[in-house]
Structure 1
């Protein structure tokens, strides 16, 4: 039976301080997402974009730190709630939801929707831990908080819109860490989440690390949600991201990891986030995002 993938755009930039990431869904579509996915022998249905509420007039690149609060949390909550409903509906119809960000705060909605009526694991491919809370965040940007949010860390403990997932930290693996804030580091260490840094990948190889991460996410779960931040890759491979960090994974390492996801055949839902076409070069990062999604769904380079 042919798998149907339902593409859902989430064109928001509330969670970041760099303009342009809200155009990520359009850039990924323009880069040939449907054609790439069809090479993986799936049927593609584009569900359009979730509604993004209008925030007050602002210059996100000029805003100061938020002093213990999360910026634009109301708008983020509204998008997450609507996105969760659409992800849930796709799964109820037997489809695999593929969410296109937007900044990484959209993961709150996609993880919440995927976890309804199922026990899920999560593999978080990212240079960053995304484990800050409003209290610990140096910036107040919610794109640095989504994993903490869905696990109910800190101030998110009573945020039902973010934490109604039943997600266990023992079924969460972060892969490719290389930039973590000081207080965030302590929270991750205390959380029960499994982490693999770039040093682990260097020492052990991406195949071994990806297999271990998938073991964590599949242990006793009904399926896996993959959260793929394009800043996981080295900026030479993916220049079009708002928070690049040198020393990321290579093109082939990224494909190998996503091919490992496909080989497990446990993928339930997925998101591609933080593609910023304003910062990109010839839409290279968006094109790479389409390739990696196809690898996760069964396409192989060789």
Structure 2
């Protein structure tokens, strides 16, 4: 029996209104850069079969200041995500910025109704239209998923755990508690995964700025100190060994900041670790 990994590129990235240099536009190149960097070959070498569904074709306002302005993009992402998820044992989404989660999770919640989201990020991404100073949608992306930033929720707060979130401010922490989102700080991450990982279908949102700069310099908004690569390897092994992991989305890797391919090497190692464990488990999920 073969284990199939679906690959889907989602080159969505909106600008940060406070950054005149607009570097986040470079995140639209992430799917291309990861494929060119050997990602598919690394996955095949684990024994998995790869189905590459290409990139979602998107037209949207890169200066969007509301999620409603991105509704057509989210719809396109959701349609492509559902198709790829139903045709795969494990879905690997190559982003893009964190706002893509609204599209991917709309689909994945249909495919896996009891899904639990593991959101790895140095930031909480839990600003709201009322609390934000920057009006950057990426900083509200997790809040939007649970209905704290306007629009109906995609997931209930209790279906979400933020891991790390070291940069979370008190307003974000307060709102997360109000909505029932769990928060696991980095120093408790391994223990939490070993003892409290929910026994349901799991999906990982992996913002690569959660990692320390020495292994992931290719980010636009770093927050120190990050999680060590070895700790993240352990985390992914634990999650994959649960036999419940259905997919992972990679966000905010900026290939233009990765002049020595350090970040690329880290991503390849982490994906290889995760897929190897999944291939070992050989668990085929039941799609709803």
What is the TM-score with the length of structure 1 in the denominator? 0.82
How far off is 1:51 after superposition? 1.4
Partner of 1:142: 137
Is 1:24 aligned with 2:30? Answer: yes
1:22: how far off?
1.5
Q: How many residue pairs are counted as aligned between the two chains? A: 271
Measure, in 2, the Cα distance between the counterparts of 1:22 and 1:181: 28
Q: Please name the residue that 2:193 is paired with.
A: 210
Query: What's the TM-score once normalised by structure 2's chain length?
Result: 0.86
Deviations 1:206-239 (A, max 9, x none): 4313224523xx3xx3x11111010010112101
Aligned twin of 1:185 = 173
Q: Which residue of 2 aligns with 1:298?
A: 276
Name 1:156's counterpart in structure 2: 151
Asked whether 1:3 is paired with 2:9, we answer no
Separation in 1 of the partners of 2:166 and 2:7?
A: 30
Partner Cα distance (2:74, 2:124) in 1? 20
Alpha carbons of structure 1 residues 54 and 148: separation in structure 2 relative to 1, 3 Å:
closer
Unaligned runs of 5+ in 1: 59-69, 158-162
Partner of 2:103: 109
Hey, what does 2:79 align to over in structure 1? Answer: 85
Q: Does 1:98 align with 2:92?
A: yes
3-state SS of paired residue (1:116): helix
TM-aligned CA deviation for residue 299 of structure 1:
4.8
CA distance in 1, matches of 2:219, 2:36: 17
| C-alpha distance in structure 1 between counterparts of 2:250 and 2:273, whole Å | 13
CA distance in 2, matches of 1:193, 1:148: 10
Alpha-carbon distance in 2 for matches of 1:242, 1:213: 32
Q: Counterparts of 1:37 and 1:299 in 2: how far apart (Å)?
A: 12
Instruction: Write the distance in 1 (CA, Å) between the matches of 2:33 and 2:261.
Output: 7
Residue 291 of structure 1 deviates from its aligned partner by 2.1
Does the CA contact (< 8 Å) of 1:15 and 1:105 recur in 2? Answer: no
Q: How many angstroms does 1:156 deviate by?
A: 2.7
Alpha-carbon distance change, 261 to 175 in structure 1, aligned in 2, over 3 angstroms: same
- The residue number in structure 1 matching 2:260 is 282
Deviation by residue 1:177-231 (Cα, 9 ceiling, x = unmatched): 2101342221012221111113x33xxxx4313224523xx3xx3x111110100
Single out whichever of 27-36 and 246-255 deviates more from structure 2: 27-36
Q: 1: CA distance between counterparts of 2:232 and 2:179?
A: 26
Deviation larger for 183-192 or 72-81: 72-81
How big is the shift at 1:257?
Answer: 0.6
The CA distance in 1 between the partners of 2:270 and 2:196, in whole Å, is 17
| 1:254-273 aligned within 5 A | 254-273=232-251
Query: 2:284 aligns to what?
Result: none
CA distance in 2, matches of 1:76, 1:40: 36
141-150 or 17-26, which moves further after superposition? 17-26
Q: Distance in 2 between matches of 1:127 and 1:99?
A: 19
CA distance in structure 2 between the aligned counterparts of 1:259 and 1:145, rounded to whole angstroms: 29
* Cα pair distance change 1:106/1:154, threshold 3 Å: closer
Structure 2 unaligned spans of 5+: 279-288
- 1:247 counterpart SS class: coil
| 3-state SS of 2:124 partner | coil
